[in-house]
Homo-oligomer: A and B are copies of this chain.
Amino acid sequence: MPEGSFAVLDSMFHPRSVAVVGASTHDGPGSFVAALQEMGFDGPLYPVNPKAEEIQGLRCYPRLTEIPGDVDHVISSVPLRFVEQLVEDCAVKHVKVLHFFTAGFSETGDEEATALERRVLARAAQLGIRVIGPNCMGLYVPAAGLSFMPFLETEPGPVALLSQSGANAGEFCRTGAVRGLRYSKVVSYGNGADVRESELLEYIAEDPETSVVGCYIEGITDGPRFLRALRKAAGAKPVVILKGGRTEAGTRAANSHTGSLAGSLAIFDAAVRQAGATRVDRMEELVDSVVAFRFLPSLRGPRAGIVGGGGGYSVLASDEVGSYGLQMPALPEETQHRLVEFTPTAGTSVRNPVDTSVGWGPEGLKPMLETLRIVAAAPNIDFLLYHTSWSWGPNRSGGPNIVDAATESATKIGELAAAVGKPIVCVARMPTTDIGMAGTLAFQQVLAQRGVAVFNSVQAASLALQRLLASQERREFAGAK
């Protein structure tokens, strides 16, 4: 495929009709029909399976060619032995994109399976059919009603994800959604036999619906083209890459998974840096970095004003901030004086970090919010970092409902964030009870709705902010928009 084929991929992301061939007759992973219905796909949706009359309330066709009229997009769950016939059937129905959920191709390392993949791809190319996969989940595009899994967020947004792994794509989307991420285009492209990293990056660079890009990549097919595509994408918007197979052990696993031959991490890293992109080491860090790029583009420096309850937590928070190259200047005298007015002396500090137990008292949230407001206003800090936990405190018998308390707290912090004109970064430490989880999720979701970045630990926040600041420098250096 030539570089710059924006229109081809754009139509891939907006099919007018979809057929699921080998459609599952029961729920579960791989029930694409149910996932598409849940996402509200509003074009014709055709289940194809000779063993069923109806699937998910839709008429089921015995074969693709039995469907009346043309079909834009086909999802294949058929066994390997049917795939060559399926390609021919696709040609009959003028199919534009064929997505193989079907696995067992080149990633097995088997010669015959690799030859089959080559034949299928060559024939599809001959027929002008683009192939997604094989061995992948395909597309999740909320605005187009496409989904590859149940329970994904239906509201669209500006985050794109390009992933060789379907399960990792699902985990990213679900985890990110809780933290406020909404998606433009998510592609799980597996073995990447046709549509793959470089072409997708070239498209995403120009996609007006995307402002931040995450990638999970196990292997690169064409190094020079990838570097060009990455430069183009990272020059247009932040690109964060999780490289699967960064160790020898991981490389062997990646080879089994998607048939990828991962190259040297040092070379990959150099390419990423040159392009002005960001590489991360784990899935959690991919989410954290995308959250930071999405919600904290206005961050202007490394100076944190830290507020939270607990002396020991404050010390450990300071260590994280310090170890990730952020700063924690002493607050101005005036700020400290204002804080002393309503911070109980016992076991607390107002210098920075501000260790305060206000907020657990009978006055409710007011003193905690006032603390945040005063610290945020300090002229020598670039952002406010508020750390808390919903495992504890309001959960005591007779206390307020933890979900209500977390919701109220997040609502007020959201209002404050809109008012102070400085980024507020929130941390809710992971809970150890299910009621604590309910509180934590409520806190995260309400903050996220208000565009406030929220992380699971001060470490995670500090690392993401360090990478955001480093990327801002690199992208300025690389002359990015």
Binding site for B on A (CB under 8 A): 27-29, 102-104, 107-108, 135, 150, 163-171, 174-175, 177-178, 216, 218, 242, 244-250, 252-254, 256-258, 281-284, 309-323, 327-328, 345-347, 349, 351, 353, 355, 357, 360, 389, 391-393, 396-399, 429-434, 437-438, 441, 456-457, 459
Instruction: Indicate the member of A163, A178, A248, A393 with the most B CB atoms within 10 Å.
Output: A248
B residues in contact with A178, CB < 8 Å = 432
A177 to B311, CA, bound (A): 22
Least distance between A92 CB and chain B CB atoms (Å): 26
Contacts A252-B318, A252-B328, A257-B347 aside, 18 further interface pairs with beta carbons under 8 A come to A27-B398, A29-B393, A103-B345, A104-B346, A108-B345, A163-B312, A169-B312, A170-B392, A178-B432, A245-B319, A247-B321, A249-B318, A249-B328, A252-B351, A254-B315, A256-B314, A257-B315, A434-B441
**Minimum distance in angstroms from A464 CB to a CB of chain B:** 16
CB atoms of A316 and B247 under 8 A apart = no
| Most interface-central of A163, A175, A250, A312 (chain B CB within 10 A) | A312
Q: How far is the CB of A432 from chain B (nearest CB, A)?
A: 5
- Find chain B residues with CB under 8 A from A216 CB: 312
- Interchain CB contact under 8 A, B433 and A441: yes
Contacts of A398 on B, CB cut-off 8 Å?
27
Partner of A345, one of B104, B320, B389, B396: B104
User: Nearest Cβ in chain B — how far from A406, in angstroms?
Assistant: 12
A135–B164 CA distance with the chains assembled, in angstroms: 53
Chain B positions within 8 Å of A360 at CB level:
28-29
Cα–Cα distance between A249 and B316 once the two chains are bound (Å): 10
Across-interface contacts of A357 in B (CB, < 8 A): 29
A104, B102: Cα distance in complex, Å: 67
User: Separation in Å of the A306 CB from the closest CB of chain B?
Assistant: 8
Contact B250 A322 (CB under 8 A): yes
Chain B nearest Cβ from A179, distance in angstroms = 9
Contact A244 B319 (CB under 8 A): yes
